[in-house]
Structure 1
Amino acid sequence: IMGMEAGALLGNMHSFWGSGAMLDPTDLTLGVPLPTFDDARAAGGTIIVNSHGDRFVNEAQPYHDFAHAFGEFDATTIDFPNEIAWMVFDEGVRSRKQILSFKPGDPIPDWVATGETIAELAEQLGIDPEHLTETVAEFNKHAADGVDPHFDRPRGMTGSKIRPVDRGPYYAVRIYPGTLGTNGGLRTDVNGQVRRARGGVIEGLYAAGNAAASPLGWGYPGGGTTLWTGMTMAYVAGEQVAHSRTPVGVA
């Protein structure tokens, strides 16, 4: 707000860095249930579908890119079709992969839906059983050959795999769009100096890190993205101030 009052130009105010998140309502380690990032979505034997029973994303995409699939807007139905989503997995995954606090061999918790068939599981999720069965069958047909013509899985996270979802019983866990933080702020030039909304720069005002709009926009090349912008641009800005002939205050 102080920057705006000084006439600063803002950027990236509509974007964020995100990830898919799951929630175990019984995990009160920190006092309240907290959304958790889990890499099980990239394991062989899983798919992610929306409330219509459609796949809508490469399950093995890097976490930030994955999160943006939830924001797809359907202008025809005037809604966000991927707002509600489920990670569907089979017995093969359950027997070898821990999902949140749900470990192989554990009793099935209440927050995990289950069904002996895909159709039974669909009924538990409120999804059309016939359509979800078709979606899984289409995925399995190609996964058996290690390919995914629709979303190009397993390209994505290191160690990601693809195999059919075909070992009953079947399970599902709700997956949510999660956020790591926003990336908007004051627009700066290559020297870290804040740009003025009406052109030029604001004399003596610099910004770096999370106070500044990320120069990458909504792009997120990997963990630590905010650190390099903070350290590098703070250093650059400091160099500019140190060599400035005009004394400036520090806020």
Structure 2
Amino acid sequence: EAASYHITGQKMAQREAEHGDASPTWFVFDADYRRKYPAGPLLPVIPDWFQEGAVQAIMKKAKTIGELAEQIGMEPAALDTTISRFNEYAAKGEDPDFHRGDAAYDKMYGDPSVTPNPCLATIDKGPFYAMPIYPGDIGTNGGLQTDARARVLNEKGKPIAGLYAVGNNAASSMGESYPGAGVTIGPALTFGYIAARDALGVND
């Protein structure tokens, strides 16, 4: 999937709040995908029986879509209909539901050997697989409010002497957005440097 995990996580959280059925969300794929690409901790090339025990415990595998649906708690007819529709559009390189492959950002993460859309391929070669996806936190938009010198501000907006915050301990300089990978690391390094200089009394 080309969508950032920030956007995907928000959608999963929204779905869970509204319907209570998105934790886990299931990543469904076929034998062709299994052979070529990783699926979380499930690595390609390495046989199923040789995967780590924890991976084998969560991996679902079945000869048919119907059997796979039963393993992940779905109605077989519903999953079969969904995949049939997906395959129909994937063969044409189209994704009317999620628009995968429409943006250049998507294509960058796609497989150029797959045509007509590097982000889409049919799910039609058994056995079929499913891996659970759970939402989790790797960063935060919250945290302590700071000034340009990484000093923590009190309720009146004044700096608290000797108290600094950077990284995920500080409110994100990006607000509620997530421009891309490393967006928490860059500010942490920058404001860590600024905080150290300020604490030492070295001001430019």
Classify the TM-score, shorter chain.
0.7 to 0.9
Aligned partner of 2:33 among 80, 93, 109 = 93
Q: What corresponds to 2:45 in structure 1?
A: 104
Cα distance in 1 between the residues matched to 2:8 and 2:72: 22
Q: What corresponds to 1:165 in structure 2?
A: 123
Higher strand share: 1
Higher helix share: 2
Q: What corresponds to 1:61 in structure 2?
A: 3
Shift of 1:102: 4.5
Shift of 1:192: 2.9
Structure 1 residue runs of 5 or longer lacking an equivalent are: 1-58, 245-251
Cα distance in 2 between the residues matched to 1:170 and 1:101: 14
Q: Deviations over 1:93-116 (max 9, x none)?
A: 123234435543624545422222
Map 1:9-20 → 2, pairs under 5 A: none
Map 1:1-251 → 2, pairs under 5 A: 59-73=1-15, 79-99=19-39, 100-104=41-45, 106-107=47-48, 109=56, 111-154=58-101, 155=103, 156=106, 158-160=108-110, 161-197=119-155, 199-204=156-161, 205-237=163-195, 238=197, 241-243=201-203
One-letter amino acid of the structure 2 residue matched with residue 224 of structure 1: G
Q: Deviations over 1:147-173 (max 9, x none)?
A: 211111134373322111122221111
One-letter amino acid of the structure 1 residue matched with residue 23 of structure 2: E
Cα distance in 2 between the residues matched to 1:73 and 1:107: 31
Identity of aligned residues (%): 36
Q: Deviations over 1:64-91 (max 9, x none)?
A: 332222211466xx54331221111112
- Bigger relative contact order, structure 1 or 2 (CA pairs below 8 A, ≥6 apart): 1
Q: Deviations over 1:197-233 (max 9, x none)?
A: 2x33125344333331111134333333233212322
Tell me the TM-score normalized by structure 2. 0.73
Cα distance in 2 between the residues matched to 1:222 and 1:74: 24
Q: Using a 3 Å threshold, how does the CA distance of structure 1 residues 113 and 208 change in structure 2: closer, same or farther?
A: closer
One-letter amino acid of the structure 2 residue matched with residue 201 of structure 1: K
